[in-house]
């Protein structure tokens, strides 16, 4: 439906946790899941390539929920390219349903695969790196024993929050939301790595090891 180079032109100004490198990682995971789960690879690929293209606008306060705005924009792009309306709609639905705290639930296999691939990129070693990329951009502490405000508010963008707290508040729960069997296996391994990392971090901070 479109190439990687074509998709890249729709991404501008995203922070490092949601930049085009993130898109390429999600694409690789989504293609892997699609093949394992016998999904429509073309729909999965297009959805992965376009799923975060309006994320920078939302982060800058220029738009609403990026999952919804990206879905609408993707439909327009694909229809303009001559893609059949039902297939453009399938891509749009997958994008609209990819958000962890979104208002649209995945209804198709392809949508579930995009959701899973996007969430897997928040786990494991890359998940730790992304959490600290966001935390560093917000000038947050590396670790804190104080219960963060975000435990109650789910608000990541405050000075008391940390990447370790983000694991407690959100990232530790990601594996519970995974849909496909293939992704669940990957999520278990990545979750275990991430949990051990933050447990070790706490021990190191306290001088125990």
64 pLDDT tier (thresholds 50, 70, 90): confident
Which CATH number goes with the domain that contains 203?
Answer: 1.20.58.1910
Rounded to an integer, the average pLDDT of 96-122 is 94
Q: Poorest-confidence range of 63-67, 158-162, 163-167?
A: 158-162
Tens digit of each residue's pLDDT (9 = 90 or more) over 144-163: 876 555 454 545 556 678 99
Q: Determine the Cα–Cα distance for residues 8 and 21; give it in Å rounded to an integer.
A: 10
Task: Tell me: pLDDT of 131 over 80.
Answer: yes
Looking at 41, 75, 103, the residue that finishes a domain is 103
Domain count, the chain: 2
End-to-end CA distance of the chain: 52
Q: Give me the residue label for tokens 């085009």.
A: 20
* Residues ≥6 apart with Cβ < 8 Å to 71: 92, 93, 95, 96
Task: Tell me: pLDDT of 91 over 90.
Answer: yes
Residues 56 and 126 in one domain: no
What's the domain range around 81? 1-103
What is the model's pLDDT at position 147? 56
Query: When comparing pLDDT for 197 and 13, which is higher?
Result: 197
Residues 70 and 4 in one domain: yes
* Percent of the chain topping pLDDT 70: 93
- pTM, entire model: 0.92
Residue 137 lies in a domain: yes
Residues 93 and 129 in one domain: no
Residues 74 and 151 in one domain: no
Q: Determine the Cα–Cα distance for residues 115 and 127; give it in Å rounded to an integer.
A: 15
Q: Give me the residue label for tokens 């275990």.
A: 192
């Amino acid at each position: 439906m479109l190439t990687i180079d074509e998709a890249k032109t729709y991404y501008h100004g995203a922070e490092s946790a949601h930049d085009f490198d993130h898109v390429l990682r999600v694409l690789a995971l989504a293609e892997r899941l699609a093949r394992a789960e016998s999904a429509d690879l073309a729909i999965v690929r297009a959805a992965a390539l376009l799923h975060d293209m309006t994320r920078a606008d939302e982060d800058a306060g220029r738009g609403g929920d990026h999952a919804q705005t990206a879905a609408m924009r993707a439909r327009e792009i694909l229809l303009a390219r001559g893609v059949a309306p039902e297939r453009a709609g399938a891509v749009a639905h997958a994008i609209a349903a990819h958000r962890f705290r979104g208002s649209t639930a995945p209804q198709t296999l392809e949508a579930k695969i995009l959701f899973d691939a996007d969430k897997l990129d928040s786990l494991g070693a890359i998940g730790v790196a992304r959490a600290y990329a966001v935390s560093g951009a917000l000038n947050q502490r590396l670790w804190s024993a104080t219960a963060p405000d975000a435990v109650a508010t789910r608000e990541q963008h405050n000075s008391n929050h940390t990447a370790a707290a983000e694991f407690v508040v959100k990232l530790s729960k990601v594996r519970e939301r995974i849909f496909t069997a293939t992704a669940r296996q990957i999520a278990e391994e990545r979750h275990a790595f991430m949990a051990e990392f933050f447990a070790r971090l706490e021990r190191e901070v306290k001088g125990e090891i």
